[in-house]
Amino acid sequence: MKKTLMVAALTGVCATAAHAQSSVTLYGLIDAGITYSNNQRVSATSGHSAWQATSGTVNGSRWGLRGAEDLGGGLKAIFTLENGFNIDNGNLGQKGRMFGRQAFVGLASDQYGAVTLGRQYDSVVDYLAPLSNTGTQYGGTIAAHPFDNDNLNNSVRFNNTVKYSSVNYAGFKFGGTYSFSNSTEFANNRAYSVGATYNYAGLNFAAAYLHANNNINNQQFNSATFSGAQAGDYTFGAARQSTFGGGVNYTFGPATAGFVYSQTQLGNAIGISPTQSGTANGINLHGNSVRFQNFEGNIRYALTPALSLAGAYTYTRANFGGGVNPNYNTVALQTDYALSKRTDVYLQGDWQHISSNSANIGPYLNGLTSASATQDQVAVTVGMRHRF
């Protein structure tokens, strides 16, 4: 019996040594709150205020597994599996996918960078979004540019993606993605992107470009089971989407101020996803002249190590085609208090006003149940986040 126990113990020690250079981490974030909003549309001409229990008002609730195995010579095998969910009802996010936020595996080199394959973020999300208010913990989901038209809030992930991410070259990093259509129609429902960022002293510059193709005639990209690059979590029903932008942030002491510009041009556009517009039938778009331009200024300030203030203003100039040219003014304000390194509470207020020729299209704050029945919409959220 003693010999058996000794052999078992030695076997465990050997197994531990063999896997000493490997690691798997369970991580996650839960964002839950209560949101008040006014003017939520109940008909074409009327709206009511609403109180809602909300999940992911700032950061989408998620849990994931992240792992690495040291292969020697500065080379590692890496993987990430990340699930999105609604904390209020336990439902899966991203159209019911088990690992809808991210799912990839690849190789990472200390000298040459990383190549990964799977469902992944594009370069706009990787490089430009961190300079914006919506792409950070200081504004997040509800502070997205109208309909998240530039994907800075990561509404769309891409399937079948090969991604390259460089190492840090004295503050300069770059990368790109290619997302396969997985079809004999090679160019249909594919996507590609490139981006770069540069840090020098307190300055951070970034630029990125994303292009996506879809066959809107067969509408297959509506389905989460479709094999293409976009499947079920699209923002626009359009044959082509090109998004590009650039930004700069400057950090001085406890404050960071920034500016981000982005533009999305659509070809053969027919509509905005109902899940993005918050209305039963979505919003109609008309042809090849559809365009969104976003001009965002943002600032955040750490009053103490635990208490921070943040705000952003975005002017969005849009053209839906057919003579419909709405302009959006969006303001997001947040105060956040850290109870610990892992838990914080926040108060966030968001306001959006639509003007110009809006053709009865109301404002829409991302993540709410419906658009506004008037030219203005306000939402106030009290929430908490816990990280693990």
Question: How far apart, in whole angstroms, are the C-alpha atoms of residue 191 and residue 159?
Answer: 9
Could you tell me the residue ranges of all domains in the chain?
Answer: 32-54+114-159+182-387
Check whether 194 has a pLDDT greater than 80: yes
- For 66-125, the pLDDT digits (tens) are 999 999 999 999 999 999 999 999 999 998 999 999 999 999 999 999 999 999 999 999
Q: Assign 335 to helix, strand or coil.
A: strand
Name which residue leads in pLDDT, 246 or 239: 246
Domain 32-54+114-159+182-387: state its class.
mainly beta
Q: How far is CA 352 from CA 46, 73, 96, 293, in A?
A: 17, 53, 30, 16
> Across all residues in the chain, what is the average pLDDT?
89
Check whether 153 has a pLDDT greater than 90: yes
In the block, residue with structure tokens 């203003």: 313
- For 368-379, the pLDDT digits (tens) are 877 787 889 999
- For 281-322, the pLDDT digits (tens) are 468 888 888 999 999 999 999 999 999 999 999 999 999 988
- For 346-362, the pLDDT digits (tens) are 999 999 999 887 667 88
pTM score = 0.89
- For 213-227, the pLDDT digits (tens) are 987 776 666 677 788
Q: Rounded to the nearest 5°, which phi and psi values hold at 238?
A: -155, 150
- Residue 307 in contact with residue 337, Cβ under 8 Å? yes
pLDDT of the residue at 216: 76
- Residue 19, Cα to own-chain centre: how many angstroms? 34
Question: How far apart, in whole angstroms, are the C-alpha atoms of residue 307 and residue 213?
Answer: 44
pLDDT of the residue at 214: 85
